[in-house]
């Protein structure tokens, strides 16, 4: 249950103001089929985070347990610093729009998530908890918790949220995960 709850909570918080959340907002403005957008986010995240979690578990199997603990803790500290840097959406890549709401969202979301904070967090969480299923379910749920309201609200502006406070809180959560990893 720790793997599931930690994965859900940390990714939901880390996703606020993230480029994929901004992408979800752009797609919600562009397409009226909110169900297709949400479904595509779900499937793109499940596949992306499964690959990331699998990579995290595979990589950690090659390291000495003591070294892996230090590497995981250092990764949490690095993510804590990374979330303090606000994301910006890349140039609007509209060549995928002709694929419709589901196709465009699936491709753009999957691509945007590659190397993103939440994908890296998924790698680290899977390495820490050695629970591929619960980490993938948790991180995917975290992505949905952060993105579904944005898609449903459509024109809701993230500017109304206290982004600096949210980023600092998220950094604190990842730093605490790093400290907890070192202590246990």
pTM of the entire predicted model: 0.76
Rounded to an integer, what distance in angstroms lies between the CA atom of residue 40 and that of residue 49? 14
Q: What is the DSSP string of 4-46?
A: HHHHHHHHHHHHTT-HHHHHHHHHHHH-S-HHHHHHHHHHHHH
Averaged over 105-117, what is the pLDDT? 86
Highest mean pLDDT pick, 32-41, 60-69, 104-113: 32-41
Q: Annotate the chain with DSSP letters as a single string.
A: -HHHHHHHHHHHHHHTT-HHHHHHHHHHHH-S-HHHHHHHHHHHHHHHHHHHHHHHHHHHTTS-HHHHHHHHHHHHHHHHHHTTS---PPP--GGGGGGHHHHHHHHHHHHHHTT-HHHHHHHHHHHHH--HHHHHHHHHHHHHHHHHHHHHHSS--GGGS-HHHHHHHHHHHHHHHHHHHHH-
Position 89 confidence tier, pLDDT thresholds 50, 70, 90: low
Given the structure tokens 């249950």, which residue do they identify?
1
Q: What's the pLDDT tens digit per position in 128-139?
A: 888 899 999 999
What pLDDT shows up at residue 123?
87
């Amino acid at each position: 249950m720790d793997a599931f709850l930690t994965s859900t909570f940390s990714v939901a918080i880390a996703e606020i103001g993230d480029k994929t959340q901004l992408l979800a907002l752009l797609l919600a403005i562009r397409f009226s089929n909110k169900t297709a957008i949400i479904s595509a986010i779900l499937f793109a995240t499940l596949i992306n985070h499964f690959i990331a979690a699998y990579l995290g578990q595979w990589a950690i199997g090659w390291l000495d347990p003591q070294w892996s603990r230090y590497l995981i803790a250092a990764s949490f500290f690095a993510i804590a610093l990374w979330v303090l840097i606000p994301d910006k959406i890349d140039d609007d890549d509209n060549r995928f729009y002709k694929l419709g709401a589901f196709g465009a969202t699936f491709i753009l979301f999957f691509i945007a998530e590659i190397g993103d904070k939440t994908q890296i967090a998924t790698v680290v969480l899977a390495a820490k908890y050695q629970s591929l299923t619960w980490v993938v379910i948790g991180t995917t749920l975290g992505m949905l918790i952060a993105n579904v309201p944005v898609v449903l609200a459509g024109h809701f502006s993230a500017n109304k949220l206290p982004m600096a406070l949210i980023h600092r809180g998220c950094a604190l959560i990842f730093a605490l995960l790093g400290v907890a990893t070192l202590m246990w």
